[in-house]
Amino acid sequence: MQEICHIAEQREFTAVRAEAQDFPPPAADRPVLAVLDDLHVYADQALLSRMTARLAQLRHQPQVWLLSLRDHAYGLDVHRFVRALEEWGCTRLALGLLSPEGVRELLTDILGAPPDPGLMELAGEAGGQPLLTVALARGLREDGQVRVVDRTAVVTSAAVPARVRSTVNCLLTDLGEQTQDMLRAATVLGPEFGVGDLAAILVDVPPAGLAACVQRAIDIGVLDCRSNDRLAFRYELVRRAIVESTALGVRQVLLHAASAPTSAGRRPQPGAPGGPTHLPPEAPRLSAAPFVVQEDSIAILFVRAVSLLHKGRMEQARESAATLLRGCVASGEATGQALAMLVQSVCARMGGQAAEALRLSREGAAVIPPGKSDLIGEVITNCVALELSLLGETAEAEQLLRKAACWEGPNGTPPASLVLGTTAARIMSVKGDHRKADQWIEAAVGVVNRPERWLLPLSSAIRALAALRSGELSTAERLVARCQAESQPGRLELCAQADWVALQVATERHGAAWGVELLTGQYAHLIAGPSLFVEEPGAAPWMVRTALAANAPQLAEEVVRAVQTLADDNAAFQPLTVSALHAGGLLRGDEEALARARSEHRAVWAAAWAAEDLGILLLDRDTGEGAAGRQFVAARWLYEEAGALRDAARITARLTRLAPPPAAPVDRPADPGQALTGSERAVAELVVLGMTNRQVAGKLHLSSYTVNYHLRNIFRKFGIKSRVELARWYQDYTAATMRPVTTRSSRPTRTLRSGIRST
Cis peptide before 24 (omega within 30 of 0): yes
Q: What's the rounded Cα separation, in Å, for the pair 666 and 636? A: 23
pLDDT reported for residue 88: 74
Positive or negative torsion for Cα 496, 497, 500, 502: negative
pLDDT reported for residue 418: 83
**Two domains, one topology: 2-87 and 165-259:** no
Highest mean pLDDT out of 201-205, 517-521, 740-744: 517-521
More confident residue, 287 or 132: 132
More confident residue, 128 or 754: 128
pLDDT reported for residue 417: 79
Query: Would you call 478 helix, strand, or coil by DSSP?
Result: helix
Highest mean pLDDT out of 41-55, 399-413, 474-488, 728-742: 474-488
> Residue 654: is its pLDDT beyond 50?
yes
pLDDT single digits (tens) 579-590: 999 999 999 999
Summarize the confidence of residues 295-308 as an average pLDDT: 66
Does the structural domain 165-259 have CATH classification 1.10.10? yes
Which DSSP helix (H) or strand (E) runs through 441?
A: helix 434-445
CB 341 within 8 A of CB 363: yes
Which DSSP helix (H) or strand (E) runs through 36?
A: strand 32-36
> Residue 51: is its pLDDT beyond 60?
yes
Q: Comparing 77-81, 154-158, 528-532, 651-655, which segment has the lowest mean pLDDT?
A: 77-81
Positive or negative torsion for Cα 284, 290, 292, 297: positive
pLDDT reported for residue 30: 81
> Residue 436: is its pLDDT beyond 60?
yes
Summarize the confidence of residues 439-465 as an average pLDDT: 78
- Taken as a whole, the chain contains a residue count of 759
Highest mean pLDDT out of 75-79, 160-164, 191-195, 674-678: 160-164
> Residue 526: is its pLDDT beyond 80?
yes
Summarize the confidence of residues 742-756 as an average pLDDT: 37
Summarize the confidence of residues 477-485 as an average pLDDT: 90
Summarize the confidence of residues 60-84 as an average pLDDT: 76
pLDDT reported for residue 273: 39
pLDDT reported for residue 658: 74
Summarize the confidence of residues 149-176 as an average pLDDT: 86
Task: Pinpoint the alpha helices (H) of 601-722.
Answer: 604-620, 625-641, 645-658, 672-675, 678-687, 693-700, 704-718
Closest CA to 505 of 464, 533, 559: 464
CB 87 within 8 A of CB 129: no
More confident residue, 72 or 580: 580
For 243-300, the three-class secondary structure string (H helix, E strand, C coil) is: HHHCCHHHHHHHHHHHHCCCCCCCCCCCCCCCCCCCCCCCCCCCCCCCCCCCHHHHHH
> Residue 224: is its pLDDT beyond 80?
yes
Summarize the confidence of residues 67-85 as an average pLDDT: 74
> Residue 754: is its pLDDT beyond 80?
no
Q: Comparing 61-70, 210-219, 653-662, 709-718, which segment has the lowest mean pLDDT?
A: 653-662
Confidence of residue 624 (pLDDT cuts 50, 70, 90): low
Q: Which CATH number fits domain 2-87: 3.60.15.10, 1.20.1050.10, 3.30.1490.20, 3.40.50.300?
A: 3.40.50.300
pLDDT reported for residue 288: 32
pLDDT single digits (tens) 354-400: 999 999 999 999 999 888 877 778 888 999 999 999 999 999 999 99
Summarize the confidence of residues 181-203 as an average pLDDT: 80
pLDDT reported for residue 480: 93
Q: In sequence order, what are the residues at sequence separation of 6 or more whose Cβ sits closer than 8 angstroms to the Cβ of residue 108?
A: 114, 115, 153
> Residue 600: is its pLDDT beyond 60?
yes
pLDDT reported for residue 502: 96
Summarize the confidence of residues 96-114 as an average pLDDT: 91
Summarize the confidence of residues 614-640 as an average pLDDT: 84
Q: Please name the fold of domain 672-754.
A: Arc Repressor Mutant, subunit A (1.10.10)
User: What are the boundaries of each domain within the chain?
Assistant: 2-87, 100-159, 165-259, 672-754
Secondary structure tally for the chain: helices H, strands E: 39, 10
What does R_g of the chain's alpha carbons equal in angstroms? 31
More confident residue, 80 or 414: 80
Summarize the confidence of residues 411-436 as an average pLDDT: 84
pLDDT reported for residue 281: 34
Summarize the confidence of residues 428-444 as an average pLDDT: 85
208's torsion region: left (phi>0), alpha (psi -120 to 50) or beta?
alpha
Buried b (16+ CB within 10 A) or exposed e, 335-361: bbbbbbbbbbbbbbbbbbbbbbbbbbb
Summarize the confidence of residues 275-293 as an average pLDDT: 36
Mean pLDDT of the chain: 80
Give me the percent of the chain exceeding a pLDDT of 70: 82
> Residue 755: is its pLDDT beyond 50?
no
Q: Comparing 17-31, 519-533, 638-652, 737-751, which segment has the lowest mean pLDDT?
A: 737-751
